[in-house]
Amino acid sequence: MSNAIVVRDLRKSYGGVHALSGVSFEVATGEVFGLLGPNGAGKTTTVEILEGYRRRDSGDISVLGHDPGDSPRALREQTGVVLQQSENTPLLTVREVHRQFAGYFAQPRDIDEVIELVGLTHKRDARVRTLSGGQKRRLDLGTALVGDPELVFLDEPTTGFDPAARRSAWDMIRSLRSLGKTIFLTTHYLDEAQQLADRVAVLRAGEIVALGTPAELIGVTRRTEIRHRLDGELVVLETDEPTRVLHELTTRALAEGRELEQLEVRRPSLEDVYLELVEEPGER
Ligand SMILES: Nc1ncnc2c1ncn2[C@@H]1O[C@H](COP(=O)(O)OP(=O)(O)OP(=O)(O)O)[C@@H](O)[C@H]1O
Ligand SMILES: [Mg+2]
């Protein structure tokens, strides 16, 4: 399988702040790759270097076979971008903004189809300044898709979305993936990463501290949590031998003729594992 993105030992400082201290990873063609990490970890810096919007200090990068540092036109034609902060012309309508973006590409998609895809048909003729926060974010997503890109960068694409809108954005990302597009995503929603990403990298203070499929990351901890209430008090047992511990617990309760109130057995989620990974040394 070919790689859409290859990053080797990427470094970037802003004055004295080391935003990226030697980051390496690959993104396979057709993969949804999620970059996770706390505020200030270096996600946007990474994404914007890959997009060609920021300069790196050092490291080798290939995006669809190009070096984004050279800002090649061919790369712009094949990538779609949702920035973390976007500013669309407030006085244009949703349709006009899409038409403007379509003008940048040799073979754009049908704009009404894209507007439909992001769920803004009813706001087609509304001016951007009248849109809600979530609707503006949908507009950003639409403009990223107008050029029918092979590779889509999404920097926190669903921040501010209501739960239903988030689900429909997920469906859209899945349908892009099923068309063979490559998607590079950053998010603070761990359920989003778990749902969508084939692989995730966790960035902490400019370094990758974990990389793999969500299942692999969760698999690293063998811990299982067994919870119940005893006389109203919550009892939490953590174990890597859930069968034995559960057996002992239930045997004792049966012998004493007690019910284990609110008994629950749970495996850690990606969020639990993530929180452990980024716990320290904390933000700068
Ligand atoms: N233009 C800039 N000038 C100076 N420092 C910057 C600049 N952009 C980012 N930084 C610093 O680099 C570090 C990484 O920032 P970055 O925006 O890449 O983080 P992030 O992971 O995207 O965070 P968030 O989750 O808040 O979006 C932070 O310490 C930030 O303060
Ligand atoms: Mg960011």
Average pLDDT (51-74) is 92
Same domain as 117, residue 92: yes
**Can you give the pLDDT at residue 283?**
42
Atom of ligand 1 minimally distant from the CA of 45: 18
pLDDT value at 280 more than 70? no
Residue nearest to atom 7 of ligand 1 (CA): 14
Same domain as 227, residue 212: no
pLDDT value at 188 more than 50? yes
Average pLDDT (197-217) is 95
Give the pLDDT band (50/70/90) at residue 281.
low
The parent domain of residue 189 ranges over 3-218
Residue nearest to atom 11 of ligand 1 (CA): 19
Average pLDDT (265-274) is 88
With the most atoms of ligand 1 within 8 angstroms of its CB, the residue from 10, 14, 39, 274 to mutate is 14
Same domain as 250, residue 148: no
Same domain as 121, residue 170: yes
Same domain as 254, residue 128: no
Average pLDDT (232-257) is 94
- 83: in domain: yes
pLDDT tens digits, 148-174: 999 999 999 888 888 988 988 898 899
Same domain as 199, residue 262: no
- 279: in domain: no
What is the pTM for the complete model shown?
Answer: 0.86
Residue 173, domain CATH: 3.40.50.300
- 133: in domain: yes
Q: Is the CB of 144 under 6 A from ligand 1?
A: no
Q: Is the CB of 104 under 6 A from ligand 1?
A: no
- 51: in domain: yes
Same domain as 229, residue 173: no
Same domain as 247, residue 109: no
Contact present, 80 and 140 (Cβ < 8 Å)? no
Average pLDDT (14-43) is 96
Q: What is the overall mean pLDDT for the chain?
A: 91
The alpha carbon of 21 and the centre of ligand 2 are apart by a number of angstroms equal to 17
- 277: in domain: no
The HSE-up count of residue 87 (CA atoms within 13 Å, CB side) is 0
pLDDT value at 1 more than 80? no
DSSP, residue by residue, 141-195: HHHHHTT--SEEEEESTTTT--HHHHHHHHHHHHHHHHTT-EEEEE-S-HHHHHH
Q: Which residue has the higher pLDDT, 151 or 277?
A: 151
The alpha carbon of 22 and the centre of ligand 1 are apart by a number of angstroms equal to 16
The total number of structural domains in the chain stands at 2
pLDDT value at 284 more than 50? no
- 103: in domain: yes
Same domain as 113, residue 51: yes
Q: Is the CB of 45 under 6 A from ligand 1?
A: yes
Same domain as 136, residue 59: yes
